[in-house]
Structure 1
Amino acid sequence: MKVAIVGAGISGAVIARLLAEQGIKSVVFDKRDHIAGNCHSERDEQTQVMLHVYGPHIFHTDDQEVWEFVNQYSEFMPYTNRVKAVYNGAVYSLPVNLHTINQFFRQTLSPAEAKAFIEQLADKTITDPQNFEEQAISMIGKDLYEAFFKGYTLKQWGCHPTELPASILKRLPVRFNYNDNYFNHKYQGMPKEGYTEMVAAILNHPNITVKLSSAFEQAMASEFDHVFYSGPLDGYFNYSEGRLGYRTLDFEQFSAKGDYQGTAVMNYCEETVPWTRITEHKYFSPWESHENTVCYKEYSRLCGEEDTPYYPVRLVKEKSLLNKYLDMAQSLESITFVGRLGTYRYLDMDVTIREAIDVARHFLHCQSAGETMPVFNVDPR
């Protein structure tokens, strides 16, 4: 049996490895000249700072099996994501916590007092939030929403928060203590030598052949028993029905002596500031020491034809076009669409790995049981 895997990122690498260990050979194609997809990392030649080339990726999960899987291929170092935010000439800590609340409102509230205070600010007339803005105002009130979420969201998504679903905000915590850890997950860390080294270790198996700078065309599918496709769903069909909406990111890289901002991530919440955040990459490797520093100023915009897609928009107007492509995909045989782009869903890194593990296991089951592998292991609708 011979399998084609399109994309040498996290999804493709995990599937290739698990199949390889069961004796199935695969050819991994990637049109870029490097592995690891948007997780690709490399050292800056001048400073030796480990750069997250396509923006920071921070590993966090509650899935013990996923955590154990990645630790087989890289030594993970402890890392806690602490995000700061600039608004109206002051620096605050995110997610919104007791320190943020007290600083913003110039109070000295206890946890219980702060909770009662925010409940008073929250708009309780909104009983069934229909969009991002309503969800935010119903949770934390207008002042905190407009300070930390409205402008940032306009820049990040390129549309008004009333056009975004309420579900986006439901995973952003509000804390009534001084915990400024951005994530709540049990396992959090960074691969000591970067994600590219980790993915290289996953792909390092005699049953895996990697072809970089190699685009995969539909016509090539007949040469393989099965195809796992992690590229853009609409791209597989040559955008015949039109292009699905993705956001892309532009980075303005610059260096500085010593420290630049003293932390890894600094959000700029006001709409008048054109960038969304500045990331200082040596702080993503706090176990290392560097005299100088490298930063990325980050801008978000709609993805064009020649751009790298980062995450799907999935607004209402995309749903009908998405359904067309899903129907086209369901008519195919011997192919499975995987990953963030292949299923047109926003997936965190740990969920991407979990789904890739499940896809590989399901494929192996189908092979042994004589069953048909589905086009989508998880329904993207």
Structure 2
Amino acid sequence: MTRLFLSRLPIFACAGFIAFLFLANIWNFAVERDWPKLRIRSAHPLFGVAKPKPAPWTLDAFLAGETQKAVSANLGRALPVFPISVRAKNQLVYTLFGSSGAPGVVVGRNGQLYEQFYIDEFCARGGAPDLARVTQWATTIREIQDAAEAAGKRFVYLISPSKAARYPEDLPRSAPCASRAAAMPDKLAPYRAALDERGVHFVDGAGLIAQKRAEYSVPLFPRGGTHWNSLGAALALREMTRLAPSSIGDFEFEWAIAPEAVGTDRDLIELMNLLWPDVSYPTTIVARAGASGNCPRAPRLLAMGGSFVHEILAAATQSPCPPQIDYWFYMRTEENGVELGHFRRAPGDPANGERQSADPDALDENLRGADLIVLEENESNIATMKQVGDLRAAVRRSQ
């Protein structure tokens, strides 16, 4: 009897595992609506996975097979074993083939990670932009600057860098422009010229990174991230405070090598969802150089732009007079849509802050109270971002 039991033990184990998964799914569905914290979850949930859409319960959807497909996908994702299965598959692909199993993330040379979007944009450079559109864009930014200065505020426009454009030597060999990456045309020249002609106060963060990268022993973009690191952002913030002196004070800093990559320095490697992600590559930490300023009150900073502003704001929390920060940006929802978000940080708060209303009235209030206004666009999508129009609309409402 014992020998028979031992011979059938693998069958019993598999049956028990399948029963556990079935009961876990039943439990998760039972508690998901009213007691979501009681769901059985993986200890390491997946990054960057959109929340599955509810199954369509209509006759047409059922006959077309859409209901069955959605139910199957939702059941699969609800399994507690789903995250570790995805990580195991992605780790196998990365270890054996040096490739990424995550959509939109590409492994370049020397283990450098890139977003496919930035590679595609960089390799497509070459044609001249529509000068009428560039002129209109630069005129809009000058209009925002004039309104800000008329109200006694400081304004800075920032061009943030693209990793593919500033560190092209590690692009994957499969990139269309890998062999000519060092000779790609200067996309930003007409945009800089348009801003210069109109007297806009701007910092060319892309050009700054290209100029400064040789001066430092550590890359200004982390190997496993898509954004500039704290050192790159601190260099840009220092230029911004020199260009438009404001109540946050002159930003000077010291830097050191970080013990390991955290936060946005590892955003791409987290999206790869590996079993054993390597986050020991060199990146930086930054601290204010010198004493705090004489601050009669906390200044207020209104920042509008994309995800690259995050590192700028982290540096600003260490300025001589740390500001209250209102950060406006377009963000992805759990359903993989896009909406305008608004987060507020208390003075000196190193965290992301608390989410606030993103209504136009809230933006108008931020604009009225701001001491410093920062508008940012990345070089990859310069003159195309909605934030410029959103800020111009708020300026016009305030006049």
With normalisation by structure 2, the TM-score equals: 0.22
Q: Say which one has the larger Rg.
A: 2
Higher percent of residues as strand: 1
**Using CA pairs below 8 Å that are at least 6 residues apart, which structure has the higher relative contact order?**
1
